[in-house]
Amino acid sequence: MNCGSSSRLWRRLYDDGDIPAIQYGSFGFQLHMAFLSGPRLLDWASSPPHLQFNKFVLTGYRPVASGAECMRSLFYLHNELGNIYTHGIPLLGFLLLLPLQIPWLQLSVPWLGLVHYLACVSPQLGSVVYHLFMNHHGGAPVYHKLLTLDMCGICLVNTLGALPIIYCTLLCYPSTRTLALLAYSALSSYVIFCAVSAHSNISRLCSFAWQAAFRFFIFYLRWADLGFGHPSSLRCYLLMDGLALLGGIINISRLPERLHPGKFDYWFNSHQIMHVLVVISILYLHWGVTSDLTWISSHSCPLD
């Protein structure tokens, strides 16, 4: 029996519930005991229709479950486990560590620190809840509510995350700053509506284009020395948006699982890659905003 057929045999045994857990590598598989033995997993064709959104992930689907059973799935291998932990672990880190890195005592405008903190934790929180409970026995209605929650988390990081950037960039133009903050907030309300009502990943990604265009105008003001902020922050913000865009493109392209259907069912599929890139993107947002917040605490606007 060659390596490929052996790997498929072990995967079938796991999906049938005969062995507790399998991890796959590029050169075969490694067998590991899970914390708990899970239920018999389903293949793509047997999974609920509302969960059949990636036809290149062929196995490892959880059966419909109660809330408690969904929670229990934190401790056995299935094809959403990587999605849960790639945002769950960063969520815990952000909740505990980010407040220690925000210069609260130096903030002349306290709400800037608060909205930044909420922006950083909201996408991970929505994502973890969505992926953990997406197979709830409430079916498609519950799933779509969870998807809306996930989209709201993404919208919040795009909305709240940009407010400190806009504030710092237009620090010395109070009237323009207020108008820009209101305009971006109003635009974001429309974007949230478009994102939660979108019917495909492509249309959801496109929903955020208006916010991105607004942010890039703000970035242009900094690049052209028409705006203000810490000298290193602009690079952080460009990397932030670049990584987020790259993650979105990888997710909608379904790479790499499109090239080898079934090989990336449990690990290293497009959605997990997107999760990692989003976390790194948020770190760049955090580094840029904290630099800006520290900078404005000691900056004086020029007199007219």
Q: What is the residue whose two structure tokens read 């490929």?
A: 4
Going by the DSSP 8-state scheme, the letter that residue 65 receives in this structure is B
Q: What is the residue whose two structure tokens read 């999760």?
A: 275
CB atoms within 10 A of CB 45: 9
Residue 271 is labelled as binding a ligand: yes
The H-or-E segment that residue 29 falls in is strand 28-31
Residue 50 is labelled as binding a ligand: no
H runs (alpha helix) in the chain: 3-15, 67-72, 81-101, 110-133, 140-160, 163-169, 174-197, 201-207, 209-223, 233-253, 270-296
The H-or-E segment that residue 22 falls in is strand 22-25
Task: State phi, psi for 189 to the nearest 5 degrees.
Answer: -60, -40
| Rounded-to-integer distance, Cα 94 and Cα 120, Å | 7
| Rounded-to-integer distance, Cα 57 and Cα 50, Å | 14
In one-letter notation, the amino acid at residue 245 is L
Distance of CA 273 to the CA centre of its chain: 10
Residue 131 is labelled as binding a ligand: yes
| Rounded-to-integer distance, Cα 103 and Cα 216, Å | 26
Binding residues for Zn(2+): 131, 271, 275
Binding residues: 131, 271, 275
